[in-house]
Chains A and B, each alone.
Chain A
């Protein structure tokens, strides 16, 4: 077992447990903190995948901005910071077995068709310069569209949330 495999296994376990705790906990602030665990785990996985620019962007944008937004939203809407009343889904008895069967079917299909082969990697790592070449080259139009989306989102959020 290579060190990356062990690291991946540990981080993946932490992420799965954190994601399950996000959706099952009764306390909204606890859910936000477990979401921080999941996002940090994702950033660690990006480092393992040699994607350091995406990892740093993930930490800055997701953990630094989006989670602060969530905590402010929880505070300002006075979502009961204590106990919530939990899940009210009456189809959980049917849904959870179906999800487990689907997971088992997909795992079986993967393991059966590929066995113990490893995914062939190209071998070349991506540098930040390549990312910028792609963003300002072939994917320039989505980049401009994204800037318009962000502008519209900022204006929309201000218009929605201001008091006048």
Chain B
């Protein structure tokens, strides 16, 4: 685990999804049809929903534990 902040982990997930989106749109240009654009739009929508729910969970964890450092949230570890 390289980052401890849960919000930073969610930001890294956004980076991954953007990389996939770039691939989809680039190959849509290669193929000449709109399938890649459609899937990229769906991925954008899914990513927004995921960030909403993820940040809701982070908020709830902060409210209960007063910390969002993933080192302190390790009760299920090992």
Contacts and interface: CB of A to CB of B under 8 A. Distances in A.
Report whether chain A binds chain B: yes
Interface of A: 19, 22-23, 28, 31-32, 35, 38-39, 42, 45-46, 49-51, 53-54, 57-58, 61-62, 65-66, 69-70, 72-74, 76-79, 84-85, 87-89, 92, 119-126, 130-131, 133-135, 139, 142-143, 146, 149-150, 152-154, 156-158, 160-161
Secondary structure of the B side of the interface?
A: helix
Interface of B: 1-8, 10-12, 14-15, 18, 21-22, 25-26, 28-35, 37-42, 44-53, 55-60, 62, 68, 71
A124 B68 CA distance: 49
A28 B5 contact: yes
Contact of B59 (A31, A39, A125, A160): A160
Contacts of A150: 45, 48-49
A70 B10 contact: yes
A123 to B, nearest CB: 7
Given A49-B29, A57-B44, A73-B7, A88 B60 contact: no
Nearest to B1: A89
